[in-house]
Amino acid sequence: MSLSPYVPIIGMFALAAGFAVMSVAIAPFLGPRRFNKAKLAAYECGIEPSPEPIGGGRVPVKFYLTAMLFIVFDIEIIFLYPWAVSFDSLGLFGFVEMLLFIGTVFIAYAYVWRRGGLDWD
């Protein structure tokens, strides 16, 4: 078995890793250091950070809901994309399947929406 088809992939991995390491490594040297209050505070999805209760607090379940909802649509996109690329060869069957798939995702969406998952407060 020849390994040659894998060489470009390995090269790609090496490049990606190198870029990530380099970015982190050189940021302290190149970046300007202008601190302000917001930069030093804990990041909580852009809202006013709440002081941590004594004895450890519970993260509101709302964050999880948002994250889950994001994943639902993220996954949907992942499947939609390859389907769109090979739409012609998949034909009607693929179209119906995708409708069903989107339908099930929307059922979950409708459930979350109706049960108040989208209300922040």
Partner 1 sequence: MEDLSLPKIDYAAVAPMLILFGVACVGVLFEGVLPKAARRVTQLVLALLGLVAALSVIVWQSDTRVLTAGGAVAIDGPTLFLQGAIIVLGIMALLLIGDRAMEHGGAFVAQAAITVGSEADRKQAVKEQGATEVYPLTVFAIAGMLLFVAANDLLTMFVALEVFSLPLYLLCALARRRRLLSQEAALKYFLLGAYASAFFLFGVALVYGFAGGVEFGTIHDSVTESTQSTVLLYAGLAMIAIGLLFKAAAAPFHVWTPDVYQGAPTPITGLMAACTKVAAFGGLLRVLYVGFDGVAWDYTPILGVVAVLTMLIGAVLAVTQTDIKRLLAYSSIANAGYLLVGVLALSKDGLSSTMFYLVAYGFTVIAAFGVVTLVRDADGEATHLSRWAGLGRRSPLYAGIFTFILLAFAGIPLTSGFIAKFAVFGAALDSGEAWLVVFGVVTSMLLAFPYLRVVVMMWLSEPGESTPTVSIPGGLTAAALVIGVVATLVLGVAPAPLLDLTTSAADFVR
Please report, as a single letter, which amino acid is at residue 23.
S
- From 52, 89, 120, 121, residue interacting with partner 1 (rule: CB under 8 A): 89
- 23 counts as binding partner 1 under rule CB under 8 A: no
- From 93, 119, 120, 121, residue interacting with partner 1 (rule: CB under 8 A): 93
- CB-CB contact of 112 with 65 (8 Å): yes
- 107 counts as binding partner 1 under rule CB under 8 A: yes
Based on CB atoms, which residue is closest to partner 1, 43 or 93?
93
At 51, phi and psi to the nearest 5? -65, 140
Distance CA 80, CA 87 (A): 10
CA 101 to chain centre: 20
* Site residues (vs partner 1, CB under 8 A): 58, 61, 86, 89-91, 93, 103-104, 107-108, 110-111, 113-115
